[in-house]
Chains A and B, each alone.
Chain A
Amino acid sequence: MAKSKTQTPQVRVRTTWKNAIRRDWQLYLLLLVPITLVVVFNYAAYPGLRMAFMDYKPMKGFAGSDWVGLKVFQKIFKDRDFTRALRNSLAFNFLDLLVGFPMPIILALMLNELRFMRFKKVSQTILYLPHFLSWAIIGAVAYTMFRPATGLVNTLLMKYGIISEGIPFLNEKWHWAATYLLIGVWQSMGWGTILYLAAITSINGELYEACIIDGANKWQKMWHVTLPGIRGTIVTLLIMNLGRVMGSNLERLTAFDNTQVRDFQYQLAIYIYEKGMGAGKYAEGTAVGLFQSLVGVVLVLLSDKVAKSLGEDGLL
């Protein structure tokens, strides 16, 4: 085995299963652990997707429930709650991407320009922090900051007479939308810089020297060397993010939950949780989940194809 590998790497020696198992039975034994877990906790859930095509009655189970074809899907697409949840999810995920995606890039470029190493290190440490806090904590702190009458921001603004009435940052839907998005950007921007900073350090220093000799200034260096240098990373991360356009984060949404903002806060994760779990409409909940997963997979495959056709590395 070792012999064939070291001496003639071009020739692939086909081992029979018998030999492979005799040689590597310990490795297969190790693999049983994750395979068992995946089968029991992931694959075993796939048959549950049948519910999306059934008039599922929990009391009767799968055997006793009738198949209804695509009726469940027809029903949810007529359901006003679903269309609202879908609209909100798409709109907010798109805005998240629009506002949230460029921010780590800008931040990484700024950190890269910084020449005071100590300051750079300290600010990086601080900017990473929100990534490590749960949405429960972030939501709780956000309410402490943004309540209309007692929140810190409004109290300070009113104290200095800048406003006379508290701004309902989290208690009116349009304000909520902006606050929700900005908090999302704030939470992820610092951590997002890591990959870009790593990509920047791997750019060949000679390119910068050549730039300087040609008389390029800071901006030109950034535009013609740094940004092209991290293009691969940008594309990869963009693909990964595009796959999430249909996703929705139950923790983040529920952390900013209150009755005044239901109109916008009602997104797919909330729909599945409240209709599927709360109201016991398993078929609808399953159908929406399936729809979400399928669109996610299709989007990842599609953007991967596009990236590859543009000559980038792609993800898969």
Chain B
Amino acid sequence: MAKKNMEATASDGSRAISKFHISDLIIILVLVILCATCVVPFWHVLVKSISGDGPVMMKEVFFWPKEFTLSAYSKVFSDRSMVRSMIYSVGVTLLFTLLGMITCTCAAYPLSKKRLKGKGFITFVLMVPMYFTAGMIPSFILMFNLHLIDNMWVLILPLIYSPYNMLVMKTYFQSTIPDSLEESAYLDGASNFQVLTKIVLPLSKPILATLSLFYAVGRWNAYGDHMYYIRSDSVRMIQYKLYLLVQGAEASISASLGDTGGATNITTPEVLQAACIMFVTVPIIIVYPFLQKYFVKGAMVGAVKG
């Protein structure tokens, strides 16, 4: 009997008294290696960014800084366009997230109501763009006709309605908020707006947090739309600036005969480039541990089909 109990707990993975198998060792080893591939490259870039130019050129810097200096960072921070772009990117991301959440709620709440007449048709209208897109060229022509090219709003308006996020939110509303709660509010004379703002939204904080993060991270990381819609430096977000910087450096390395380590042609010295990479990466890494649990929750809600 005791044995059975012990092994019953084994199924959920928390067996305390059990032999240490070879397979455990292999799993741990594989996971450690995989984790290392996620950490070591960034550690290396960080170390490079705080090392002196000399040792980096001599390829002496691996996992510990040599000739510690923060001069690359002071260069990045004194570059007005980098700092400005960072502030701009944060601003665009926040605005995008706010408007996105409003749009998402406006779509998900009415569609979560079974009684809504015309629900099937409206859902269809709102879901089509997820499966069939017009493609980049027609979209470009459209943005051009709307006079949105090279405009900050082109980074926000076309993307704030997301069919996927809408489905996640709708599913959450339907599965976690009891109908009876809303019905009693209606009987007390509350309007649809009041039910939404006083009952549904306060009860949906977890999903609101999750979807805000989906929106924010999505906007923060995406830069493909810049390649079509954005031309001037003043409306570029920081990820695109990093992309251009790295591409510029890579093009000049490729052009200089076969990357022989002769750094004469490199437009951006490696240390400065490493500092730029860190400058763009660190905001995500700082907020990441706080966001992670919300992300995981949201991904699971999304798994429940709408």
Binary contact track B20-56/A, C-beta < 8 Å → 1, others 0 = 0101100110111011011101101100100000000
With beta carbons under 8 angstroms apart, the residue of A6, A260, A272 that contacts B135 is A272
Bound complex: CA of A286 vs CA of B11, how far in Å?
54
Which residue of chain A has the shortest Cβ distance to B245 in the bound complex?
A: A140
Assess A24 versus B158: contact at CB under 8 Å? Given A139-B246, A251-B222, A286-B137.
Answer: no
With beta carbons under 8 angstroms apart, the residue of A32, A110, A272 that contacts B30 is A110
Cβ A137 vs Cβ B242 within 8 A? yes
Bound complex: CA of A260 vs CA of B107, how far in Å?
47
Instruction: Please give, as numbers and ranges, the residues of chain A lying within 8 Å of B67 by CB-CB distance.
Output: none
Is B175 close to A, CB under 8 A?
Answer: no
B75-83, B90-98, B114-122, B201-209: which lies at the interface: B114-122
Assess A34 versus B303: contact at CB under 8 Å? Given A27-B192, A137-B239.
Answer: no
**A-B residue pairs in contact (CB < 8 Å), sample of 8:** A24-B110, A27-B192, A126-B38, A129-B285, A251-B222, A277-B140, A285-B135, A288-B135
Cβ A49 vs Cβ B134 within 8 A? yes
Assess A148 versus B142: contact at CB under 8 Å? Given A24-B110, A35-B122.
Answer: no
Assess A27 versus B137: contact at CB under 8 Å? Given A134-B222, A195-B303, A251-B224.
Answer: no
With beta carbons under 8 angstroms apart, the residue of A143, A191, A285 that contacts B137 is A285
Cβ A112 vs Cβ B125 within 8 A? no
Assess A114 versus B135: contact at CB under 8 Å? Given A2-B186, A15-B117, A123-B31.
Answer: no
Assess A289 versus B12: contact at CB under 8 Å? Given A114-B28, A136-B280, A145-B44.
Answer: no
A63-71, A77-85, A86-94, A292-300: which lies at the interface: A292-300
Bound complex: CA of A34 vs CA of B292, how far in Å?
28
Is B160 close to A, CB under 8 A?
Answer: yes
Is B189 close to A, CB under 8 A?
Answer: no
Q: Which of B227-260 contact A (CB under 8 A)?
A: 227-228, 239-240, 242-243, 246-247, 250-251, 253-255, 258-260
Assess A31 versus B253: contact at CB under 8 Å? Given A272-B137, A297-B132.
Answer: no
Instruction: Please give, as numbers and ranges, the residues of chain A lying within 8 Å of B277 by CB-CB distance.
Output: 137, 140-141, 144
Instruction: Please give, as numbers and ranges, the residues of chain A lying within 8 Å of B69 by CB-CB distance.
Output: none
Is B138 close to A, CB under 8 A?
Answer: yes
For A, the interface residue count at a CB cutoff of 8 angstroms equals 110
Bound complex: CA of A6 vs CA of B291, how far in Å?
40
Cβ B59 vs Cβ A155 within 8 A? yes
Instruction: Please give, as numbers and ranges, the residues of chain A lying within 8 Å of B217 by CB-CB distance.
Output: 132
Cβ A126 vs Cβ B8 within 8 A? no
Instruction: Please give, as numbers and ranges, the residues of chain A lying within 8 Å of B166 by CB-CB distance.
Output: 34
Which residue of chain A has the shortest Cβ distance to B284 in the bound complex?
A: A132
Binary contact track A141-160/B, C-beta < 8 Å → 1, others 0 = 11111011110100110000
Interface residues in chain B, defined as those with a beta carbon under 8 Å from any beta carbon in chain A: 4, 7-8, 10-15, 18, 21, 23-24, 27-28, 30-32, 34-35, 37-39, 41-42, 44-45, 48, 59, 62, 102-107, 109-111, 113, 115-118, 122, 125-126, 128-129, 131-142, 146, 157-158, 160-161, 166, 179, 183, 186-187, 191-193, 196, 217, 220-224, 227-228, 239-240, 242-243, 246-247, 250-251, 253-255, 258-261, 270, 273-274, 277, 280-281, 284-285, 288-289, 291-292, 295-296, 299-300, 303, 305
Assess A140 versus B303: contact at CB under 8 Å? Given A149-B259, A297-B131.
Answer: no
Cβ A41 vs Cβ B142 within 8 A? yes
Instruction: Please give, as numbers and ranges, the residues of chain A lying within 8 Å of B116 by CB-CB distance.
Output: 20, 24, 27
Cβ B250 vs Cβ A27 within 8 A? no
Is A30 close to B, CB under 8 A?
Answer: yes
A116 to chain B, nearest CB (A): 8
Instruction: Please give, as numbers and ranges, the residues of chain A lying within 8 Å of B110 by CB-CB distance.
Output: 24, 27-28, 30-31
Interface residues in chain A, defined as those with a beta carbon under 8 Å from any beta carbon in chain B: 1-2, 5-6, 15, 17, 20, 24, 26-28, 30-35, 37-38, 40-49, 51, 107, 110-117, 119, 122-123, 125-130, 132-137, 139-145, 147-150, 152, 155-156, 166, 171, 186, 189-191, 194-195, 198-199, 205, 208-209, 212, 218, 233, 249-251, 254-255, 257-260, 272-273, 276-277, 282, 285-286, 288-290, 292-293, 296-297, 300, 313, 315
Assess A20 versus B136: contact at CB under 8 Å? Given A126-B38, A140-B242.
Answer: no
Instruction: Please give, as numbers and ranges, the residues of chain A lying within 8 Å of B134 by CB-CB distance.
Output: 42, 45-46, 48-49, 289, 293
Instruction: Please give, as numbers and ranges, the residues of chain B lying within 8 Å of A128 by CB-CB distance.
Output: 292, 295-296
Cβ A143 vs Cβ B250 within 8 A? yes
Cβ B109 vs Cβ A27 within 8 A? yes
B37 to chain A, nearest CB (A): 6
Which residue of chain A has the shortest Cβ distance to B159 in the bound complex?
A: A41
Cβ A37 vs Cβ B250 within 8 A? no
Cβ B223 vs Cβ A27 within 8 A? no
The 8 A-B pairs at the shortest CB distance, nearest first, are namely A289-B135, A48-B138, A208-B11, A20-B117, A134-B221, A45-B134, A27-B110, A34-B107
Assess A34 versus B284: contact at CB under 8 Å? Given A125-B289, A144-B41.
Answer: no
Assess A218 versus B242: contact at CB under 8 Å? Given A205-B8, A300-B131.
Answer: no
Bound complex: CA of A194 vs CA of B300, how far in Å?
7
Cβ B35 vs Cβ A114 within 8 A? no
Cβ B35 vs Cβ A48 within 8 A? no
Assess A115 versus B243: contact at CB under 8 Å? Given A127-B38, A129-B288, A141-B277.
Answer: no
